[in-house]
Structure 1
Amino acid sequence: MKKIFSILYLSMGLTALGMAQQKKPNIVLILADDLGYSDLGAYGGEIETPNLDRLASEGLRLREFYNNSICAPTRASLLTGQYQHKAGVGYFSNDLGLPAYQGYINQESLTIAEVLKENGYHTITSGKWHVSGKGNSLPWQRGFDFVFPKEEKSSDSGAPGFKGKTDAQGYPLPEHDATNVINQHALSFLDQIKGDKKPFFLYLAHTAPHWPLVALPQDIAKYKGKYDKGWEAIRQERFKRQKELGLIRPDVKLSVRDEDIYDWDRLSFDQRQLWAKKMEIYAAMVDRLDQSIGQLIQKLKDNGQLDNTLIVFLSDNGAPAEDLVKWHHGARINTGPVGTTGSYESQSKNWSYASNTPYKAFKDYTYEGGINTPFIAWFPNRISAHTIKNGEGHIIDLAPTFYALAGAKYPKIYKGIKPNDLKGKNLLPVIFEDKNQIDRPEGLFWERAGNRAARIGKWKLVSTWPSYKWELYNLETDPTEIKDVANQNHDVVSQLSQAYFNWAKNNGVVDFAQLEEREPESMKEFRKSKVQEIAAPAFRF
């Protein structure tokens, strides 16, 4: 009899284990805004990011994970698994009068929320949306049950418009800090469903560390004097740590310095102090972002939701080259010292040069500095700790990856419409298994305001508007894009350029010369503002 009961209990235990294993996992997708490749400690940075570093050390980091180089196009691809033009956001959140450039997600491109909701998931989003327009494609129209901010204007424009209370010096109070507000709404939504057996998908889209530079004074104080040595010294230190971490091979060289990066040694003492202050505030914004992720992890643990949750973290593009003093009337708009809510300042190209270590260029460009983002994936007992892989993933891969993980069916017809086919790859063999990188013989492709790129295997083709000249780089031997080898490899240039033009035709991409006249004046200013001149910073200390 005792033996029979033992067998019965064992059987019951195995059944319970099987049921637990069959339970659909929760999925948390965290997106930072304008975060550079090396800004996290886990990617070589000196900013204090213990929570993200923990996820990285207990999980997976990828050396190569690609975005679309700028905000709205990245978000469109991230949410749909489509290239941005196919999804209708080929340029930005502006309507340029063509289907591929309407500025908001079209109905044929289903969002992750729409698909997972059909497959039994709660769907939650808090933070920046930036893929709607003219009242179309708002988050609650695209599959999300829990939404913050639930205001049409905020969703159309991108970021929640926080105009909260400040202290006597003009710094935001903690409860009105944008990162804290976005995070607290997400945590509140998680509390609302914690007793429910349904799995959830949380898309947490932070606005940090995107300009304007505004942070809490207690966070800024932690970085006082940290950046007095200048961007070149910080860049060199980050590069050294990246090699020590195993993110960069020992033989890789640091990308070539842009000609218009300021020479720190030529700046006056006052100029150095002003520039250092900018980076102190940027670091404080990244620090607060990391603190919020620590709060999220604790909430998931307290609610009993953590052990069955995949957490993925990335950035929407590389650190930016925008100089707000020169762009968008920044010098005139400033009404308070940098760091306060009246400030309209950016870290500018000089500090972004360090943020994107070891890579070349910035947000909006198709060099690695613009399109290669940190990527961290964490799932307890599913992802091996201390794992670093090449990956060669892309944001179009996240939707098919999440569907595979959730066992979700991608519909053939959705609300009477035939959805676009998914073009991305399932990353689970890289995330959970021994595969080092995705096989993608068809290649990856980029186009943003005339900046173009194509990658197939080790070869990457790049051209920067207004030039049409192709540059070619062997990323296997030259991942920092130092040596253009186009003249020595005409056959490779021909192969990749033909693949690019086939992709462009299939995705509705139009030569930017035909669209430039439709480009909003503010965005023309944005592109011009990326060229700096040596001058004293025009913001107040």
Structure 2
Amino acid sequence: MRVVDLLVLFLGLSLLISCSPQKQADSRPNILLIVADDLGYSDLGCYGGNIRTPNIDQLAKHGIRFSQFHTGPTCAVTRAMLLSGQNNHVAGMGIQDGLLTNSPMIGKPGYESNLSDRIIPVSQLLQESGYFTYTTGKWHLGKREEDSPQQKGFDRSFNLLQGGSNHFNKIGIEPDDTLSLFREDGQIVDYPEGKYSTQFYTDKLIDYIQEGKVKDPGKPFFAFAAYTSPHWPLQVPEDYLDRYEGDFDIGYDSLRVLRFESLKESGLIPPNASLPPRLASITPWNELTPEEKKIESRKMELYAAMVDNLDYHIGRIIHFLKAEGLYDNTLIVFMSDNGAAGNDFYNETWSRDFIRKHYNNDYENMGKENSFVSYGPQWAQAGAAPFNRFKGYTTEGGIVSPIVIKPHKPTTTGLVK
């Protein structure tokens, strides 16, 4: 299954009943599209992972998991295909914004770095067919007003315009992007200082859906929850900081093998599958010093806590839909935009000076709002098990992602496709 195939699913459902003459009520299903940011293939409990994700696992129990769902290798590329149903060049995102520095391709057809006028976004098509349309979270498809979600078919929106941000404020995370930009309903706005991103985006989305239900109870909605979790920097609320203390002391090499075996047991990969060798650039776990192991384990603890927190807030949306009588007529799609992220920005030359000036990565401070932790290729390769490499590469580790689809008329047994 490819990311562009999802648009066919959405539009097929929206048109299913819309052609019926003189219908008494609009019974077309609601659509909730949830996109995690840089989630690894084997992170979820229902994909063989040891991170606690009961709400997503429950969706899988009553829905479908796909073992070969293909995305783009980076965030914006996937999002462009997802919203357009076209390949990323037709959609205007031949390569992600910021990766074309000084290239003669900048601005050329296929490389506009925003949704092009060659496509009609699914949000606009659904809006025109009678859906409420909402989005919160990461946009990453253009910063200009004419590129905003409001101009692309969304009735209500609150979005980060760049590819990432501090999860508690608008402090930038890159040397050439020192402040994060946000739009609400087309207008540039401030981010509420101190609010954790996953909680805030969830609050907003629930408010939008509730508002629409009051305004027109019979009108279906399309809600795009574009979370920035678990994208770096790895930051979590205070009560999540120590949730996974000690859980990853086994190290990235052993975790990768455990995930691989669990995937085979679950039927997501063949029993005769083989695990690619560790990348030569990764130091074997047993060659690290005790202090290095301590720091490395902490990185993965924080990453797991972010995923755990994401699952909790997805559970809040599910609970809300059930309480409002909307759940049984809502198609829910949960996916990751690409493979796990193998960046190590704290030590990379281009970003090191900026990050160390503005953030504090002392061990005791890791995971807090003024820290900047990314877990690097060693843990990303474990998260990408059973595949080779990770985000940014067109190997399967970069472009095969988890996806769970809960139909609007749920099955009783989880299926694997």
Category of TM-score, reference length = shorter chain: 0.7 to 0.9
SS at match of 2:338: coil
* Matching residue of 2:317: 296
Larger radius of gyration: 1
2: distance between equivalents of 1:305 and 1:54? 17
Q: Which runs of 5+ in 2 are unaligned?
A: 1-22, 101-105, 171-191
2: distance between equivalents of 1:20 and 1:297? 27
Amino acid at match of 1:183: T
* Matching residue of 2:116: 106
2:136 is aligned with 1:126: yes
Any idea what the Cα deviations from partners look like across 1:138-194, whole Å, max 9, x if unmatched? Answer: 100000001013xxxx42x244665459xxxxxxx9971111011110111111122
1: distance between equivalents of 2:78 and 2:259? 26
2:387 is aligned with 1:368: no
2:167–2:369 CA contact under 8 A, matched in 1: no
| TM-aligned CA distance change 1:373 to 1:281, over 3 Å | same
2:62 is aligned with 1:58: yes
1: distance between equivalents of 2:367 and 2:167? 15
Amino acid at match of 2:381: Y
| TM-aligned CA distance change 1:175 to 1:380, over 3 Å | farther
* Matching residue of 2:200: 181
1:124–1:145 CA contact under 8 A, matched in 2: yes
2:81 is aligned with 1:83: no
1: distance between equivalents of 2:236 and 2:290? 24
2:25–2:218 CA contact under 8 A, matched in 1: no
2: distance between equivalents of 1:190 and 1:219? 28
* Matching residue of 1:273: 294
| TM-aligned CA distance change 1:139 to 1:346, over 3 Å | same
State which of 154, 157, 170 in structure 2 corresponds to 1:147.
157
Amino acid at match of 2:74: I
Amino acid at match of 2:117: Q
2:79–2:337 CA contact under 8 A, matched in 1: yes
2: distance between equivalents of 1:255 and 1:42? 22
1:216–1:284 CA contact under 8 A, matched in 2: no
2:343–2:377 CA contact under 8 A, matched in 1: yes
Alignment of 1:393-472 (within 5 A): none
Alignment of 1:513-528 (within 5 A): none
SS at match of 1:29: strand
2:135–2:157 CA contact under 8 A, matched in 1: yes
* Matching residue of 1:192: 211
* Matching residue of 1:385: 413
2: distance between equivalents of 1:77 and 1:230? 36
* Matching residue of 1:394: none
Instruction: Provide the aligned C-alpha RMSD in A.
Output: 2.2
Amino acid at match of 1:177: Y
State which of 315, 340, 357 in structure 1 corresponds to 2:385.
357
How far is the alpha carbon of 1:385 from its aligned partner? 2.2
| TM-aligned CA distance change 1:257 to 1:44, over 3 Å | same
* Matching residue of 1:346: 374
* Matching residue of 2:308: 287
* Matching residue of 1:429: none
SS at match of 2:304: helix
Residue correspondences, number: 360
* Matching residue of 2:359: 334
2:279 is aligned with 1:258: yes
The one of the two structures with greater contact order (alpha-carbon pairs below 8 A, sep at least 6) is: 2
| TM-aligned CA distance change 1:77 to 1:380, over 3 Å | closer
4+ residue segments displaced more than 6 Å: 19-22
1:174–1:216 CA contact under 8 A, matched in 2: no
How far is the alpha carbon of 1:384 from its aligned partner? 5.3
Any idea what the Cα deviations from partners look like across 1:2-30, whole Å, max 9, x if unmatched? Answer: xxxxxxxxxxxxxxxxx799711000100
Any idea what the Cα deviations from partners look like across 1:211-235, whole Å, max 9, x if unmatched? Answer: 0010123223220000111001111
* Matching residue of 1:24: 28
2: distance between equivalents of 1:238 and 1:147? 37
2: distance between equivalents of 1:281 and 1:111? 35
How far is the alpha carbon of 1:238 from its aligned partner? 1.0
2:75–2:96 CA contact under 8 A, matched in 1: yes
TM-score scaled by structure 1? 0.64
2:26–2:218 CA contact under 8 A, matched in 1: no
2:315 is aligned with 1:315: no
2:268 is aligned with 1:247: yes
1: distance between equivalents of 2:163 and 2:218? 32
Amino acid at match of 2:205: A
TM-score scaled by structure 2? 0.82
Q: Which runs of 5+ in 1 are unaligned?
A: 1-18, 166-172, 390-541
1:126–1:203 CA contact under 8 A, matched in 2: yes
* Matching residue of 2:41: 37
Amino acid at match of 1:279: M
2:340–2:398 CA contact under 8 A, matched in 1: yes
Amino acid at match of 1:58: H
2: distance between equivalents of 1:369 and 1:287? 22
2:392–2:398 CA contact under 8 A, matched in 1: yes
Greater CA drift, 129-138 or 32-41: 129-138
Amino acid at match of 1:334: Y
Amino acid at match of 1:108: R
